[in-house]
Each structure stands twice: as C-alpha cells, then as structure tokens.
Amino acid sequence: MKRFIVVGLGNFGSAVAASLFEKGHEVLAVDVSPDRVDQIAAQTTRAAVGDGTRVDVLERLGVADSEAGVVSTGDDIAASVLGTMALRDVGVAEIYVKVASPEHARVMMKFGVTEVIFPERESALNLAQRIVQSESLLRYVQLDTDFAMQEMAVPNLWTGKTLRELDLRRNYRLSVVAIQDVITDAYQTAPDPDSPLKDSEVLLVAGKVDDLSRAADVK
C-alpha cells in the first residue's frame, strides 16, 4: 500500500483520489470546499477542508510520507504553483499537476514537476485516433507524441497464424505485449510465439503511432 495526497477535489481530483483508494492505497485529500470534501470522504483514507497550497495544512494532514502528490486546482496557475511548492516543502518527491492549457503546462514544467496532465487534450487526441482507426481498434493509449499502445481484435488475415509466422516486429515494427482470450478471460503476458491466434483473442500491441495505424487497417 502506498500513500498519496490529492490537492483539489474537482471532477479530476476526486476521480483520481477515488481510483487510488479503490486500488487499496492510502489517500489523503484536501479542498477548500466542504461540499467537495463531504462527497469524496467515504472514498479516501482522510479528506479534510483546507487550503492545500499551504505547508501548515499539508503538515497537519501528515503528507510527508506520501509517495506522490496530485495537484488539481483547475485553471488557477498560481494555485498550481503554490500547491506544487507546498508539496515540495513537506517532502513529496513526485508531483503530478492537472493543467488547463499549454501555457499552464509550460509554467508547471519549469517547476520540474514529474508530469503535467491535460485531460481534455488527451481525451480529444485519443478520441480522434479511435475515430480514424479501424473498427478493430478497441482501446488506445497515447504514451508519447509518437508512441502508443492499443488493444485490437485479431484480424481475419492473422487468425490461425502464429506470432512467429507473422513476425510483427519486422513486418509492422510492433511488439505484442499481451494476449487476452475474451471467452475465457485468460491473459498471456508472455505470449507463446508458436501458438496460433484465435478470432476470440485481443492483442495488446505497442509501437509508433503510424505503425499502429497500419496494423489496425488489416482486415
């Protein structure tokens, strides 16, 4: 079990806090709004009303031992900066910040945060990619500007063939990370290269965006 601190309990911050708590981690959450704190209290280890950009508030919550912090203070850049600095001052090493614009992101990156999260932009990019991709594409996650992972149903042309025969690394420059059989719900995290692929299976593949697009067009 790890310990996390979430500063700001809007839609994004509340969702992150609840998800981490559901996964069995200790979650401390703080927001200036009593209503937001009340709404998330049952889904956190401790939720408190207070200004999470202040060091004394964070110290009272006991966040010094937290593995990571999430700052989700909306589009208020000053609050994001103050929240980040406060988390640093109490000893939180990894800090993730929700940003509302490219300008917001640039400011926070200059403060050396671990990562900036732009949910609206990431959701839009993933939706656009799914729309233009083949219907065989099930789930898509952009990991970098030119690298992603996607789930895809086994194309008809690949059914009955083995990964060794298909040689996706050479022919498509892709790596098969895992295979799931949707009927048995069984996962292969180290796929057998000599096992014929079934039409009931889903592939989790990783590679460059253009190469993933090419694979998704296979029928």
- Write out pLDDT tens, residues 72-113: 998 889 999 999 999 999 999 999 999 988 889 899 999 989
Look at residue 4 in the predicted model and tell me its pLDDT. Answer: 95
Look at residue 135 in the predicted model and tell me its pLDDT. Answer: 45
Average pLDDT, the chain: 86
Distance CA(16)–CA(143), nearest Å, equals: 19
Q: Does domain 3-117 have CATH number 3.40.50.10440?
A: no
| Type of residue found at 184 | T
Look at residue 39 in the predicted model and tell me its pLDDT. Answer: 95
- What pTM does this model have? 0.61
Look at residue 117 in the predicted model and tell me its pLDDT. Answer: 86
Look at residue 181 in the predicted model and tell me its pLDDT. Answer: 85
Which CATH architecture does the domain made up of 123-216 adopt? 2-Layer Sandwich (3.30)
Low-confidence ranges of the chain (pLDDT < 70): 120-145
Residues of each domain in the chain carrying CATH 3.30.70.1450: 123-216
Distance CA(9)–CA(21), nearest Å, equals: 14
For residues 199 and 165, the answer to whether their CB atoms sit within 8 Å is no
For residues 22 and 47, the answer to whether their CB atoms sit within 8 Å is no
For residues 75 and 55, the answer to whether their CB atoms sit within 8 Å is no
User: Where does 50-118 show beta strands of DSSP type E?
Assistant: 68-71, 94-98, 115-117
Specify the 3-state DSSP secondary structure of 116: strand
Look at residue 123 in the predicted model and tell me its pLDDT. Answer: 60
Residues of each domain in the chain carrying CATH 3.40.50.720: 3-117
The secondary structure of residue 44, as a DSSP letter, is: S
**Helices 77-89, 102-110: crossing angle, 10 deg rounding:** 30
